[in-house]
């Protein structure tokens, strides 16, 4: 297995419908979308006076499971750099493309040494997020 991989998916749904369905799938599993109000990157760029084409439609969706992440931080604060999980969704050729970056257990263990439980826990979370994406497609 590669140390890091990008999960790729395609949906015929409009981007907003995919995001709505992803949020429903997340909530069913105790997850939430942490940045619901600031995930549309075109709006962020325009707020910073950076011109963006009207058709630019990219969402950086931060997925969080508050009860699990709070316990994880309390167990080992060194886990923090690997905790943010973003699902990237964008419009392309009239459809929605979805991407999700995730890391192998071996890389996680190398980055956070001495924390035997974390690689397995994070791998389970990655699996749950992929399942949520597939349900939302």
- 112: domain CATH number is 3.30.310.70
Q: Average of pLDDT values for 84-98?
A: 96
pLDDT at 1 over 80: no
What tokens were used for 79?
Answer: 């886990």
3-state secondary structure of 74: helix
pLDDT at 122 over 80: yes
Q: How many domains in the chain? A: 1
Q: What is the pTM of this model?
A: 0.94
Q: Average of pLDDT values for 46-60?
A: 94
Q: Average of pLDDT values for 106-132?
A: 97
Enclosing domain of residue 73? 4-136
**Contact present, 22 and 36 (Cβ < 8 Å):** no
The mean of the pLDDT values for the chain is: 96
pLDDT at residue 36, as a whole number: 87
**Contact present, 84 and 117 (Cβ < 8 Å):** no
In degrees rounded to 5, what are phi and psi of residue 35?
-120, 40
- The label of the residue with tokens 């997925």 reads 63
């Amino acid at each position: 297995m590669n140390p890091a991989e990008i999960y790729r998916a395609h949906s015929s749904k409009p981007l907003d419908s995919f995001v709505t369905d992803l949020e429903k799938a997340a909530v069913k599993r105790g997850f939430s979308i942490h940045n619901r109000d600031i995930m549309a990157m075109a709006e962020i760029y325009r707020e910073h006076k950076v011109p963006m084409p009207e058709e630019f439609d990219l969402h950086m969706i931060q997925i969080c499971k508050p009860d699990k992440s709070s316990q994880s931080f309390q167990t080992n604060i060194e886990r923090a750099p690997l905790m943010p999980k973003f699902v990237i969704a964008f419009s392309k050729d009239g459809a929605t493309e979805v991407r999700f970056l995730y890391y192998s257990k071996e890389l996680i263990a190398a980055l956070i040494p001495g924390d035997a439980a974390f690689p397995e826990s994070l791998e389970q979370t990655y699996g749950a997020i992929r399942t949520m994406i597939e349900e939302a497609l």
